[in-house]
Structure 1
């Protein structure tokens, strides 16, 4: 029943599309015929009673231009309608093809479902043989009896094997095979991982054994070295009296002592010459390590002092350069200064002392460096000012000179205007 309804629906869709397509194509053909016959639609302008009557004059060229323009417009509309009709036709063909394919697929699906659901009936030979043996004299009677009709028409379900059961059995078998294959793959993967873990464990054990072997060898070497050092220490005296032709290098090689440690132990230079009968202290291993550590620390300290001195020298050179530059700039500014450069006088405030005594000390230091300074009392303390200078450029140069002067060590001077 469902198949019949779907077939009717598909036929209705095809019929409706065909009718619509026919109407569209017919309209396009009529428009083309009208254009070919030269039929035009004349638009009448509304009468205006307010305008005056115009004389009837015919401009043939104007009329021809209007007709040609209208013909072009009609051709454009017809072409657009043809394109729309072609697009509609293509879309309708696609829809019809899709509906037909869907209908065929559903028909095949329903046919398959009907075949699967339809039981297979097998005849009952026992009943037919029994009927023939019981009535041998009625074999000429062609019409079947009621029992035969019942036997042939009504199947017994205990002898029927439906295809659904066969399909289900096949599906079950396939599922079992898939499950077995999956289980086999999982077992293989587990086996592979187990083998890999065993190999990794074996490699790890070999690495641990190799590491233990190396540790034992290192411990054995360390023990041998300690024994050798003990033997050497037992042979090494604490003091030694220098013989003719002996030096620090010879003694260091004889008692296996670094020449630097031997020289440091005796407050000597490693290139020093030893005198006959001079007593030399021979350090043991602990003393050698201490002396080497002290020598390393001393060398690091010396390098740090060298670096600090270099930085200080660079800073002093830079400050000296700044001082010379500021002094030259001040000299130039004083030479070019004029009375009209500023309305007032400029000075450089060097410090703000807490009392007059400290201010006098600063003034004394400034005067000893060659500056002219004076003090003035303020609400915040005693101000120490160097100057005055005419012109702001000269005052700024004087400030830079005071800040860069190594004798004063001042870096907070600033220009004061009064």
Structure 2
């Protein structure tokens, strides 16, 4: 038996077996449908038959063992069962048909491969025989060589196309990666620049605020200093005016006493080096009830008590001052007083 006939025989066996199996499945489905259709009369036969009724005898009704609703429910369940069984059988039949078609395709493919191999072997055997002219053999070799070259060229072209496609995809990916990196770099640079500008703006605002605060503080201090200096100047001016007015009053008082009265004798108590010491001594004497006169000289400020009416009265005042332990002035003496403008 040749290889081709063997393959055909195997394909026929497969087809026959599939047909038998499919027919068995269909018959089984029909039997189940038939049994389901004839099950209802059998259930109806389960009802107990009634006995014949004699004439004149009362008919006694027998209750049905299955009510109408239950019967309907059972019939509906049977119908659904039949439909499910038919659907399952059809699905199995379709699955088997697919398997059968696949087996037929595999068998046909294998038979075609074996047939092609057999023809190639037969062709090779014929070419090797001496009956084939040399020019046909050469033409066949040239044809085979041309086919091989065309196949190689096609493979090279396909490989080049694949390589070119891969290179193009790689270049595109590289360009895309480069573009993404450039965009990221620009975004990072923009973000960094924005942050730097924000920092510089914040620093500038802080600097301006510090300068304004410093300027305000400087102005405040300058204003306070000016106000302090003004108050100090006013105070010194007031003190100077007060001292000048006091000196003028004392001088006028002394001049009035010496020029307009007969009191020409004074008791000189001390000679102070400055105005403060003179004021201290004069305060002590005034506290004791004495009339005090101050007169500046080239050696200091002269502190005097009086004037008195005569020398005796002045001498009595001197003794009293010298003996007063509260004053502690032991060096008082009597002088004849002459105002400066009359000397």
TM-score (norm 1): 0.31
Higher RCO, 1 vs 2 (CA within 8 Å, ≥6 residues apart): 2
**Rg bigger for which structure?**
2
TM-score (norm 2): 0.36
Quick check: which one's helix share is greater?
2
